[in-house]
A = this chain, B = another copy of it.
Amino acid sequence: MTVFDKSIELHRKHRGKIAITGKTPLANQEDLSLIYTPGVAEPCRRIAENEDDVYLYTSKGSMIAVISDGSAVLGLGDIGPKAAIPVMEGKAVLFKTLGNIDAIPICLDTQDTEELIKTIKYLAPSFGGINLEDIAAPRCFEIEARLKKELDIPVFHDDQHGTAVCVVGGLINAHKVVSKDMAESSIVINGAGAAGIAIARLLLAYGARHITMVDIKGIVNRDNPETMLNKGHEDIAKDTNHGKKNGNLADAMKGADVFIGVSRPGLVTKEMVASMNEKAIVLAMANPTPEIFPDEAIEGGAAVVGTGRPDFPNMINNISAFPGILRGALEVRASDINSEMNLAASIALANAVPADKLSATNIFPEPLDMTVPDIVAKAVSDAARKTGVARI
């Protein structure tokens, strides 16, 4: 049986993956009078008097919504809200198991940017945070930016920032392994979509200075309008490719120290890796089939290779980031998840690999390492306090 057959069997057997449970007893009339009428009127009254008491008397403080419009689900694309539910339920299981966060999967039946923003704002009172998921670019940028500005609870777009946090975390360790300095590295990011741009931004925040973005029209160059397909490209072009290079992916990779792929299967050849600088780092994140398989990249001379796959060393997966990031934000009732918090998560992830275990085939924590979420959460809540977005 393939993983797909087994997955279908599991989903059919359980009819989905999540359930609600009561945290309070309900065995007799007295229990009923406390959790429901008449007793429940009292927490209602207190919250009506002081809105912040909602964190004391309800589940809001540990509950988030995992929201998608079904427009960019895994590699499957625009499959609609119903077909997106299995992914959101899976995410909810991960949030619970790894972050002790109660995540509610909500798949919305609209793909209109303004309607999505408005709907998520209407939903906000019940939730301590919002995790946006599998929403197509460029819509996802506008939705995230507006919600971050207009809501007082943290909003996190995992496809952007979860990926960025993990890639940067892995890259920090990869640089240690090859004894290079990220500030000096020449970094090529293939795929200037939601994830690629977020990776570039977080790398810049960390101190990287030489980033080249590549997309379907080639190297993104602020002086070459043909290569800037949308507002996201225009913005990131200002801070990348300072040499104003033109060309295709192969041109970009020549002499580069780092290749990061958040694009499509098989775009990178052994020869392209061979054209990179010595001790090259290759993070080929296309899922489930990477831009280049690790054995080929190594044949091409790469010193460190990571992918999103469990069947090769250096699996780099968002699972290591999002439970801890949201947990850290919820714990201090952060009003935002800012880039300092994301960067703190990256550094925490890098440091979660002990120095004596760090190697070319071990740059990143195991995806189900249950110690990681706490480490990340602590770093994130500290960063929230330092940057003034913590509310408790």
CB < 8 Å neighbour of A74 from B40, B56, B58, B119: B40
| A94 and B33 contact, CB distance less than 8 A | no
| Bound form: Cα–Cα A90–B31 in Å | 11
> Nearest residue in B to A47 (C-beta to C-beta)?
B83
Q: Convert A77-114 into 0s and 1s, putting 1 for each residue whose CB lies closer than 8 angstroms to a CB of B.
A: 00111111111111111111100001111111110000
A61 at the interface (CB under 8 A from B): yes
CB < 8 Å neighbour of A15 from B11, B56, B115: B56
> Known: A19-B102, A108-B125. Contact between A8 and B46, CB under 8 A?
yes
> Known: A48-B79, A74-B40, A83-B48. Contact between A60 and B16, CB under 8 A?
yes
A338 at the interface (CB under 8 A from B): no
A288 at the interface (CB under 8 A from B): yes
Q: Is the interface of A mostly helix, strand, loop or mixed?
A: helix
Task: Report A28 CB to chain B, min CB distance, Å.
Answer: 7
Task: Report A3 CB to chain B, min CB distance, Å.
Answer: 5
Q: Specify which chain B residues have a CB less than 8 angstroms from the CB of A17 in the assembled complex.
A: 22-24, 35, 58-59
Q: Convert A17-47 into 0s and 1s, putting 1 for each residue whose CB lies closer than 8 angstroms to a CB of B.
A: 1111111101111001111111111111111
Q: Specify which chain B residues have a CB less than 8 angstroms from the CB of A124 in the assembled complex.
A: 109
| B104 and A125 contact, CB distance less than 8 A | no
Task: Report A277 CB to chain B, min CB distance, Å.
Answer: 32
| Bound form: Cα–Cα A160–B91 in Å | 36
Task: Report A287 CB to chain B, min CB distance, Å.
Answer: 6
| B18 and A97 contact, CB distance less than 8 A | no
Which residues, 171 to 211 on A, are CB-close (under 8 Å) to B? none
Task: Given contact pairs A19-B21, A22-B92, A88-B126, enumerate 9 new A-B contacts (beta carbons under 8 Å).
Answer: A6-B39, A16-B59, A20-B63, A36-B94, A44-B86, A48-B76, A59-B85, A60-B85, A81-B126
> Nearest residue in B to A35 (C-beta to C-beta)?
B90
A367 at the interface (CB under 8 A from B): yes
Would you list the 5 A-B pairs with minimal beta carbon distance, nearest first?
A: A7-B39, A16-B59, A4-B42, A81-B125, A48-B83
| Bound form: Cα–Cα A288–B32 in Å | 14
> Known: A22-B96, A41-B4, A104-B104. Contact between A36 and B90, CB under 8 A?
yes
| Bound form: Cα–Cα A45–B388 in Å | 44
- In this complex, which of A19, A102, A106 has the most chain B Cβ atoms within 10 angstroms of its Cβ? A19
A217 at the interface (CB under 8 A from B): no
| B29 and A74 contact, CB distance less than 8 A | no
Task: Report A205 CB to chain B, min CB distance, Å.
Answer: 27
Task: Report A129 CB to chain B, min CB distance, Å.
Answer: 14
Q: Specify which chain B residues have a CB less than 8 angstroms from the CB of A123 in the assembled complex.
A: 106, 108-109, 119
Q: Specify which chain B residues have a CB less than 8 angstroms from the CB of A90 in the assembled complex.
A: 35-36, 40
